[in-house]
């Protein structure tokens, strides 16, 4: 079937089986290989993308379900000028990235959280990232990265408010 | 120091946070096809027939390979004689064993077709425990018997000295299999050609190249292995990457099409090596003043179906079993055994977590029996510079154990809690030493190149791999420091066997230490060229020049300076070498084969941890209140990377101690997924506070020592000791799950 959706701000239409997994559509049809497959069962969160701003496991999402909806992948969150998103910057500065395989999903889950809640409590961060496994960091630096990103986004939004 | 010791971002981080990094599964080539294997499904038996017709006739299936289609010896392994087939030919030794390879237009078709393969197996009674394997009349899993390796360490009078002790404690400790559970399952992609190229998620590309070449029956130089960005390894992407890498290459050459093989999570658990399960029997004898005079330890490792790294893990446990203590008499026997289970091999810590759990549990039991403070007994017996360690090796410096004990003692005491409530509170201590470098496992050489371009930017090449641990960043820092350039101007090559030198395996916490020394040597040679050139340009002597802030600077007048790019350009046109390939060779181990007395490692990382826990007596739920992790790392190169290593390794140790267990039934793993195999999530994380201690190591760059592995052992041991303290019950098996804790509390209640 022909599926139309928005991906990283761009209108996309492509031919796909309605039961195709969205992770495969993204990786194989659109070449967006930043979305990673760690388990294929929705247990690790490496394939997290944003669907209408909410984090979902793209390995469990069927192509038929994304018609007319909006998807954001890791490739779609940097600024138009190529500048890193503050979450990406904060993750690097705080050492929240080691091997990097969980990182795209971790960053997107963080974005969904901070878009909803600009100053999350620790428990809210834990809840928001509880579906994203990481074997390298021990998570402490990821929590620091999220807190730092939250701080920067709140400060940055004032600045952006000034110019717009 | 401008760069060493400063907090720097990962030099390869940009690609990772943007999704641009190319992992092996991200490679796409025209005409690419996909491989999947049919696995044995039973733990032991003899293959009597293989029916591949159904698979072959499946639309989209391109090729079906069995053992007879392997051009070379169909064997892989770590130490010759190799014992592990790529595809089983007749014997089945574990349930996850690969038997048939299917190549199809899509991965889904390949998997579907693999299910249509029927392997007839005449089953044997599987040998599932080390005791069954060691029984006198046991069936031999391999021709040579069921013992992979058995070694002995003897220091002083050994166990005989236990008789002289005022107090002896005795115990048996057990640990379970653990899965690496890196987030990226094993993946390889082979591209055919006169010289074949393999893009692999892997740890040791040169090791893979050798096996691929042998199994293709071509010279090693005909094979190019490129390490793709690798999503974690922890010791786990070596044998298995060799297996699927060889299979992919063989299929690619047969079909003249690129072949990608990616494991599913289940395959990653059942079909690649695990951490050895262990049973450790231990006796420790001490005098009434707390001095330990003798230890007798017997280590039994369940190595599963193939040797893999078992011989080296056996050696590692042998050397580390008695702990970081100055003990006159030590006797250790360590034996690894074949069973019909998934093979075991390298996993961060490499046997040290198992023996450290046993050792540190027993140190606590000894302290209790003597009525001594548990940290004090570690202080009294802990190694100092000039002491003789359990292999009789004496280090004149960089033995920072005592300092780690001191900084742990200086941490604020946990708040006192009233007895008798719903919550139980406990505090544990554990000390560890872990050898750095290959040591007794083999000669340790690394080769590194440093090359400056005319614009002053630098390219570093080394045959050791970045797996997430931050090694590339450390090497870049070393080069930036030596050449006086900004770290942003230093890049580290991908590991491509065509472009970097074989530096041995990326193991044994050796990347910073042995690898870093090679990088340092090469950088120093390039520095000499730059300084010579700058001296010519400034018409002064070489000793008057220093490299700093991107300039060659006259020491007596630092306004006299030339950009390093101008120096490099001039040097290039003058013919000064701006590239150097240097090798660092660790001092060779030198020890007695019968007693294992002698010099083994170039250095040890020493550590002491404290953990405070709260246990809910009604539910068994554990909350870690504090975790202090002090490690002597010689010299901190990157504080951010170091803290990440200590925190990450600690959570792997915590997982081993509390949550993770491979469950077998009849030789089949029952929990080969992340729903049933409990990997720590962000909610399970522990508040690790890493505390570096710096006791300069003369064998490492700028005095540094490796740090990637040791916290695993200390964290596992400290958890056991903290929980045992809280529950007032000595736990002797890892993991200590919530259920185990509840059972112990109930037992204690019944008896108390």
Are residues B449 and B745 in contact, defined by beta-carbon separation less than 8 angstroms? no
What pLDDT digit, counting tens, does each position of B621-647 carry?
Answer: 999 999 999 999 999 999 999 999 999
What pLDDT digit, counting tens, does each position of B123-141 carry?
Answer: 999 999 999 999 999 999 9
- The per-residue pLDDT for B586 is 86
Are residues B494 and B575 in contact, defined by beta-carbon separation less than 8 angstroms? no
- The per-residue pLDDT for A82 is 84
Cα separation, A31 vs A24, in Å, equals 9
> Which chain B residue's Cα is nearest to A108?
B17
Residue A157 has pLDDT above 70, yes or no: no
Q: Which has more confidence, B377 or B417?
A: B377
pLDDT band at B438 (very low <50, low <70, confident <90, very high): confident
What pLDDT digit, counting tens, does each position of B421-430 carry?
Answer: 899 999 999 9
Contact B184 A36 (CB under 8 A): yes
What pLDDT digit, counting tens, does each position of B478-528 carry?
Answer: 999 999 999 999 999 999 999 998 988 888 788 899 999 999 999 999 999
- The per-residue pLDDT for A159 is 47
For Cα atoms B172, B175, B177, give the angle at the middle one, nearest 5 degrees: 150
CATH topology of domain A2-76: Ubiquitin-like (UB roll) (3.10.20)
Q: Does B679 touch chain A (CB under 8 A)?
A: yes
Contact A98 B21 (CB under 8 A): no
Selected residue of B16, B229, B647, B686 to mutate for chain A interface (largest A Cβ count, 10 A): B16
Selected residue of B33, B183, B642 to mutate for chain A interface (largest A Cβ count, 10 A): B183
Q: Using alpha carbons, select from A76, A152, A36 the residue that is nearest to residue B23.
A: A36
| Percentage above 90 pLDDT, chain B | 94
Contact B19 A88 (CB under 8 A): no
B15 CB burial (10 A radius; 0-12, 13-18, 19+): middle
pLDDT band at B231 (very low <50, low <70, confident <90, very high): very high
| Percentage above 70 pLDDT, chain B | 100
Selected residue of A24, A27, A50, A99 to mutate for chain B interface (largest B Cβ count, 10 A): A99
Mean pLDDT score, A3-31? 96
Mean pLDDT score, B426-441? 93
Cα separation, A142 vs A103, in Å, equals 9
Using a CB-CB cut-off of 8 Å, the residues of chain A touching B686 are 138
Residue B171 has pLDDT above 60, yes or no: yes
Q: Which domains does chain B have, with CATH numbers?
A: 26-124+186-262 (3.90.1170.50), 277-439+592-751 (3.30.365.10), 445-585 (3.30.365.10)
Beta-carbon contacts of residue B351 (< 8 Å; ≥ 6 apart): B276, B278, B301, B313, B314, B316, B317, B320
Residue A162 has pLDDT above 60, yes or no: no
Q: Does B265 touch chain A (CB under 8 A)?
A: yes
Mean pLDDT score, B150-160? 98
**CATH of A86-163 given 1.20.1630.10, 2.102.10.10, 1.10.3370.10, 1.10.150.120:** 1.10.150.120
ipTM of this model? 0.97
Q: How far is B673 from chain A (nearest CA, A)?
A: 8
> Which chain B residue's Cα is nearest to A134?
B183
Residue B246 has pLDDT above 50, yes or no: yes
* Mean pLDDT of the residues in chain A: 94
Contact A75 B18 (CB under 8 A): yes
Q: Does B229 touch chain A (CB under 8 A)?
A: yes
User: Half-sphere exposure of residue B55, counting CA atoms within 13 Å on the CB side?
Assistant: 28
In chain A, where the domains are located: 2-76, 86-163
Give CA separation, B2 vs B458, B480, B487, B488, in Å: 17, 9, 10, 13
Contact B14 A138 (CB under 8 A): no
Q: Using alpha carbons, select from B517, B600, B572 the residue that is nearest to residue B319.
A: B600
Are residues A103 and A35 in contact, defined by beta-carbon separation less than 8 angstroms? no
Q: How far is A121 from chain B (nearest CA, A)?
A: 13
Selected residue of A72, A74, A135 to mutate for chain B interface (largest B Cβ count, 10 A): A135
- Go through chain A and tell me how many residues it has: 164
Residue B616 has pLDDT above 90, yes or no: yes
Beta-carbon contacts of residue A130 (< 8 Å; ≥ 6 apart): B681, B682, B683
Q: How far is A79 from chain B (nearest CA, A)?
A: 11
Residue B574 has pLDDT above 90, yes or no: yes
Residue B232 has pLDDT above 80, yes or no: yes
Contact B183 A84 (CB under 8 A): no
6-25 in chain B: CB under 8 A from chain A? 9-10, 13-23, 25
Q: Does B677 touch chain A (CB under 8 A)?
A: no
Residue B606 has pLDDT above 50, yes or no: yes
Q: How far is B678 from chain A (nearest CA, A)?
A: 11
Considering only the beta carbons, identify the residue of A38, A136, A141 that sits closest to B265: A38
Residue A158 has pLDDT above 60, yes or no: no
- The per-residue pLDDT for A160 is 44
What pLDDT digit, counting tens, does each position of B578-601 carry?
Answer: 999 999 988 888 999 999 999 999
The beta-carbon contacts of A1-7 under 8 Å, at least 24 apart in sequence, are: A1/A64, A3/A63, A3/A64, A3/A66, A3/A67, A4/A67, A4/A68, A5/A66, A5/A67, A5/A68, A5/A69, A5/A70, A5/A71, A6/A69, A6/A70, A6/A71, A7/A32, A7/A70, A7/A71, A7/A72, A7/A73, A7/A76
B622-632 sheet: strands from edge to edge: B423-436, B603-616, B622-632, B688-693
Beta-carbon contacts of residue B749 (< 8 Å; ≥ 6 apart): none
- The per-residue pLDDT for B368 is 98
What pLDDT digit, counting tens, does each position of B454-464 carry?
Answer: 999 999 999 99
Give CA separation, B724 vs B204, B222, B290, B505, B607, in Å: 39, 56, 21, 38, 20
Residue A163 has pLDDT above 70, yes or no: no
Mean pLDDT score, B331-353? 98
- The per-residue pLDDT for A95 is 98
> Which chain A residue's Cα is nearest to B683?
A126
For Cα atoms B186, B192, B197, give the angle at the middle one, nearest 5 degrees: 55
* Mean pLDDT of the residues in chain B: 96
- The per-residue pLDDT for B750 is 65
- The per-residue pLDDT for B751 is 57
DSSP string over B429-481: EEEEEEEESSGGG---EEEEEEEE-TTS-EEEEESS--SSS-HHHHHHHHHHH
What pLDDT digit, counting tens, does each position of B24-63 carry?
Answer: 999 999 999 999 999 999 999 999 999 999 999 999 999 9
Q: Does B640 touch chain A (CB under 8 A)?
A: yes
């Amino acid at each position: 079937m022909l599926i139309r959706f928005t991906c990283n701000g761009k209108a996309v239409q492509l031919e796909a089986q309605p039961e195709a997994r969205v992770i495969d559509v993204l990786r194989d049809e659109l070449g967006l290989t930043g979305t990673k497959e760690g388990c294929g069962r929705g247990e690790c969160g490496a394939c997290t993308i944003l669907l209408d701003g909410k984090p979902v496991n793209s390995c469990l999402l069927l192509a038929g379900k994304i018609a007319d909806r909006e998807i954001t992948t890791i490739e779609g969150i940097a600024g138009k000028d190529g500048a890193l998103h503050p979450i990406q910057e904060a993750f690097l500065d705080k050492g929240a990235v080691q091997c990097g395989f969980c990182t795209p999903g971790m960053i997107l889950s963080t974005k969904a959280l901070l878009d909803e809640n600009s100053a999350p409590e620790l428990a809210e961060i834990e809840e928001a990232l509880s579906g994203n496994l990481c074997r390298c960091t021990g998570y402490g630096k990821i929590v620091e990265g999220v807190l730092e990103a939250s701080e920067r986004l709140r400060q940055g939004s004032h600045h952006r408010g000034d110019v717009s | 120091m401008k760069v060493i010791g400063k907090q720097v971002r990962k030099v390869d981080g940009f690609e990772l946070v943007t999704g641009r990094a190319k992992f092996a599964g991200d490679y796409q080539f025209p005409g690419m096809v996909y491989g999947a294997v049919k696995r044995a499904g039973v733990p032991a038996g003899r293959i009597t027939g293989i029916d591949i017709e159904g698979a072959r006739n499946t639309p989209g299936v391109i090729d079906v390979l069995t053992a007879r289609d392997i051009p070379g010896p169909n064997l892989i392994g770590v130490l010759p004689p190799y014992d592990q087939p790529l595809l089983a030919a007749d014997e089945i030794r574990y349930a996850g064993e690969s038997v048939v390879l299917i190549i199809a237009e899509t991965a889904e078709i390949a998997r579907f077709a693999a299910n249509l393969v029927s392997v007839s197996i005449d089953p044997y009674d599987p040998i599932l425990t080390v005791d069954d394997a060691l029984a006198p009349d046991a069936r031999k899993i391999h021709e040579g018997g069921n013992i992979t390796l058995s070694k002995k360490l003897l220091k002083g009078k050994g166990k005989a000295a236990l008789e002289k002790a005022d107090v002896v404690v005795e115990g048996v400790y057990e640990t379970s299999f653990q899965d690496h559970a890196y987030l990226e399952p094993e993946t390889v992609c082979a591209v055919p050609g006169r010289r074949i190229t393999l893009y692999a998620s892997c740890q040791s590309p040169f090791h893979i190249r050798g096996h691929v070449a042998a199994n293709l029956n071509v010279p090693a130089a005909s094979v190019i292995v490129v390490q793709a960005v690798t999503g974690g390894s922890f010791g786990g992407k070596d044998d298995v990457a060799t297996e699927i890498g060889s299979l992919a290459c063989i299929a690619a050459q047969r079909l003249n099409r690129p072949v990608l093989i990616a494991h599913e999570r289940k395959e990653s658990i059942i079909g690649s090596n695990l951490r050895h399960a262990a049973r450790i029997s231990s006796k420790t004898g001490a005098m009434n003043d707390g001095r330990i005079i003798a230890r007798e330890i017997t280590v039994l490792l369940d190595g599963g179906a193939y040797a893999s790294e078992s011989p080296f893990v056996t050696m590692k446990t042998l050397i580390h079993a008695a702990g970081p203590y100055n003990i006159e008499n030590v006797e250790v026997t360590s034996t690894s055994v074949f069973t019909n289970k998934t093979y075991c091999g390298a996993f961060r810590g490499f046997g040290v977590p198992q023996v450290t759990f046993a050792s540190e549990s027993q140190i606590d039991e000894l302290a209790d029996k003597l009525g001594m403070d548990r940290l004090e007994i570690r202080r009294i017996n802990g190694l100092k510079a000039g002491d003789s360690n359990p292999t009789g090796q004496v280090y004149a410096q960089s033995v920072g154990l005592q300092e780690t004990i001191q900084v742990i003692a200086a941490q604020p005491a946990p708040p006192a809690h009233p007895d008798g409530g719903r919550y139980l509170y406990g505090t544990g201590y554990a000390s560890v030493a872990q050898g750095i470098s290959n040591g007794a496992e083999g000669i340790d050489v690394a080769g590194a190149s440093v090359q400056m371009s005319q614009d002053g930017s630098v390219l570093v090449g080394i045959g050791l791999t970045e797996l997430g641990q931050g090694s590339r960043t450390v090497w870049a820092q070393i080069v930036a420091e030596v050449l006086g350039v900004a770290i942003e101007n230093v890049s580290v090559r991908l590991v491509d066997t065509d472009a970097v030198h074989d530096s041995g395996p990326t193991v044994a916490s050796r990347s910073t230490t042995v690898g870093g020394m090679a990088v340092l040597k090469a950088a120093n040679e390039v520095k000499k060229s730059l300084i010579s050139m700058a001296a010519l340009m400034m018409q002064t002597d070489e000793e008057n020049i220093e490299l700093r802030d991107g300039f060659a600077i006259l020491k007596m007048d630092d306004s006299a300076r030339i950009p390093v790019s101008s120096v490099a350009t001039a040097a290039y046109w003058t013919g000064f070498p701006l590239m150097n390939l240097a090798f660092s060779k660790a001092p060779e181990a030198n020890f007695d084969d019968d007693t294992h007395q002698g010099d083994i490692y170039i250095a040890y990382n020493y550590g002491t941890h404290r953990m405070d826990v709260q246990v809910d007596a009604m539910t068994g739920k554990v909350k870690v209140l504090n975790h202090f992790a002090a490690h002597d790392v010689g010299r901190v190169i990157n504080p951010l990377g170091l803290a990440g290593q200590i925190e990450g390794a600690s959570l792997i140790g915590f997982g081993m101690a509390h949550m993770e267990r491979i469950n077998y039934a009849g030789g089949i793993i029952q929990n080969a997924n992340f729903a049933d195999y409990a990997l720590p999530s962000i909610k399970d994380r522990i508040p690790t506070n890493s505390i570096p201690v710096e006791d300069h190591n003369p064998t490492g760059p700028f005095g540094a020592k490796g740090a990637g592995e040791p916290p695993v052992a200390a964290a596992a041991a400290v958890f056991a000791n903290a929980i045992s303290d809280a529950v007032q019950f000595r736990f002797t098996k890892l993991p200590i799950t919530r259920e185990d804790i509840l059972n112990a509390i109930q037992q204690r209640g019944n008896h108390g």
